[in-house]
């Protein structure tokens, strides 16, 4: 796929970018749309809301995201960030499970998910039961109202069995919220087939929407008639420009909008999504599995001191691979210095994330050679590689 898609990205020629699980690279189409947004702003000023149809951009972007998660076009909206969207769907979901008392969550989930579960629980007098990822399936029972679960773990890349977990939750009457932050744009998803209740996710990772690009929010259409966002945002009103003092929510996923959308960020995302019109996600997934497998196998042969914490079975793995090493932070900085951009997560975790759209097996081989050199020459022990900055 790299041969077909690499030229769509504005990547530095001398670097190998392995941080797409954190922030995807800038594409030419995203850059073009961002400039287009600036031109519209310059030319149209406030009339851009109508003349450039900025007003409907959250809905139009939702329609573009829908096929990537196997949803219907009107089931998805693009708005706010994932943290805020998590709170909205949690509070909305809690209204659907009166009589129950527990939000079931994963202990090792991304902190935003846990914090929002705790926030929603405190508003509605629920308790959060946080269990290890592998215990989720057996922890579901008839006290659980909501299961909040991230499909691919941000540290280990472990991928939950979406079919089995959703099916069990449905059988027990549990509302399921899937966080697809680490799955969208790297593997196929199907909200409709599994009758998923709610889903959210980031667009700045594998979708390459840009730093802080807005999140997507999916609500199964079966709830559209009756369910409303718990946050009565003015943009979620049925007629925002009536400026009514009485809140009347829109009768679909639009009610989950809050305030004025960030148009320039949305423009960049709009451009980034153009690439996905030409991507077959099943092909992308197969290539991603082959690349992550190659990295794991080469490291197992050549660098046994690295302890792989990602699943060895490709079908249980998402798009990144993580290794433990006591000097992971310094190693990650030395790799960046060598032009191979990876990242680090506490505790002592090296993460290698990439999309087959711009990485191929040749890049993986170069990455492993560089890693070997850094480890075997003790290069990472140089003082300069242990200096931390605020964002790691």
Catalytic residue list: 110, 179, 204-205, 351
Radius of gyration of the chain (CA): 22
CB nearer to ligand PLP: pick between 27 and 153:
153
How many of the chain's residues bind ligand PLP (CB under 6 A)? 13
| CA–CA gap between residue 384 and residue 381 (Å, rounded) | 8
CB nearer to ligand PLP: pick between 112 and 169:
112
Nearest-approach distance from CB 140 to ligand PLP, in angstroms: 20
Q: Which of 112, 162, 196, 299 binds ligand PLP (CB under 6 A)?
A: 112
| CA–CA gap between residue 124 and residue 103 (Å, rounded) | 11
The interface region with ligand PLP, picked from 6-14, 106-114, 137-145, 358-366 by CB under 6 A, is 106-114
Number of Cβ atoms within 10 Å of the Cβ of 32: 15
Q: Which of 157, 159, 166, 181 binds ligand PLP (CB under 6 A)?
A: 181
| CA–CA gap between residue 134 and residue 149 (Å, rounded) | 12
The interface region with ligand PLP, picked from 131-139, 141-149, 179-187, 381-389 by CB under 6 A, is 179-187
| CA–CA gap between residue 128 and residue 107 (Å, rounded) | 10
For residue 382, what are the contacts with CB-CB under 8 A and spacing of at least 6?
Answer: 330, 334
Contact between 81 and ligand PLP by CB under 6 A: the answer reads yes
User: DSSP secondary-structure letter at 19?
Assistant: B
Nearest-approach distance from CB 214 to ligand PLP, in angstroms: 9
Nearest-approach distance from CB 373 to ligand PLP, in angstroms: 30
3-state SS, one letter per residue, for 238-278: CCHHHCCCCCCECCCHHHHCCCCCCHHHHHHHHHHHHHHCC
User: DSSP secondary-structure letter at 332?
Assistant: H
Sign of the CA dihedral running 227, 92, 235, 181 = negative
Q: Which of 9, 17, 54, 110 binds ligand PLP (CB under 6 A)?
A: 110
The interface region with ligand PLP, picked from 67-75, 80-88, 128-136, 284-292 by CB under 6 A, is 80-88
For residue 223, what are the contacts with CB-CB under 8 A and spacing of at least 6?
Answer: 92, 96, 197
Q: At 279, which helix (H) or strand (E)? A: none
Terminal C-alpha separation, the chain: 30
Report strand pairing: 198-201 vs 175-179.
parallel
Contact between 348 and ligand PLP by CB under 6 A: the answer reads no
Nearest-approach distance from CB 251 to ligand PLP, in angstroms: 27
* 206, two tokens: 């594998």
Q: Which of 9, 17, 126, 154 binds ligand PLP (CB under 6 A)?
A: 154
CB nearer to ligand PLP: pick between 40 and 113:
113
Nearest-approach distance from CB 296 to ligand PLP, in angstroms: 22
Nearest-approach distance from CB 156 to ligand PLP, in angstroms: 12
Q: Which of residues 187-216 bind ligand PLP (CB under 6 A)?
A: 202, 215
The interface region with ligand PLP, picked from 61-69, 71-79, 108-116, 155-163 by CB under 6 A, is 108-116
What's the full length of the chain, in residues?
392
Contact between 119 and ligand PLP by CB under 6 A: the answer reads no
Residues engaged in binding ligand PLP (CB under 6 A): 81-83, 110, 112-113, 150, 154, 179, 181-182, 202, 215
């Amino acid at each position: 796929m790299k041969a077909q898609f690499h030229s769509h990205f504005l990547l530095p020629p001398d670097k190998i970018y392995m941080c797409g699980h954190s922030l995807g690279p800038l594409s030419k189409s995203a850059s073009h749309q961002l400039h287009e947004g600036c031109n519209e702003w310059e030319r149209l000023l406030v009339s851009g809301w109508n003349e450039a149809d900025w007003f409907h951009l959250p809905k139009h972007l939702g329609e573009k995201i829908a096929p990537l998660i196997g949803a219907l076009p009107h089931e998805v909206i693009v708005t706010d960030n994932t943290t805020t969207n998590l709170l909205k769907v949690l509070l909305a979901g809690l209204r659907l499970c009166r009589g129950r008392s527990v939000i079931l969550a994963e202990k090792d989930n991304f902190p935003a998910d846990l914090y929002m579960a705790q926030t929603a629980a405190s508003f509605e007098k629920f308790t959060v039961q946080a269990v290890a990822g592998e215990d989720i399936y057996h922890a579901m029972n008839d006290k659980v109202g909501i299961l909040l679960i991230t499909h691919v773990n941000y540290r280990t890349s472990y991928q939950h069995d979406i079919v089995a977990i959703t099916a069990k939750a449905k059988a027990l009457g549990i509302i399921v919220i899937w966080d697809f932050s680490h799955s969208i744009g790297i593997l196929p998803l199907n909200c409709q087939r599994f009758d998923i209740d709610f889903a959210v996710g980031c667009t700045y990772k594998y979708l390459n929407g840009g730093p802080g690009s807005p999140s997507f929010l999916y609500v199964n259409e079966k709830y559209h008639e009756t369910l409303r966002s718990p946050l009565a945002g003015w943009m979620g009103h049925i007629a925002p420009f009536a400026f009514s003092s009485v809140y009347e929510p829109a009768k679909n996923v639009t009610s989950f909008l809050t305030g004025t959308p960030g148009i320039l960020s949305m423009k960049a995302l709009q451009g980034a999504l153009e690439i996905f019109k030409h991507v077959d996600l099943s092909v992308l997934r197969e290539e991603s599995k082959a690349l992550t497998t190659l990295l794991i196998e080469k490291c197992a042969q050549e660098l046994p001191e690295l302890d792989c914490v990602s699943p060895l079975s490709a079908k249980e793995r998402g798009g990144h691979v993580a290794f433990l090493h006591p000097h992971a932070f310094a190693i990650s900085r030395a790799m960046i210095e060598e032009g191979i951009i990876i990242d680090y997560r506490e505790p002592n975790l090296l993460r290698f994330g990439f999309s087959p759209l711009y990485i191929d097996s040749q890049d993986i081989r170069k990455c492993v050679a560089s890693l070997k050199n850094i480890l075997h020459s003790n290069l990472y022990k140089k003082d300069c590689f242990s200096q931390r900055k605020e964002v790691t």
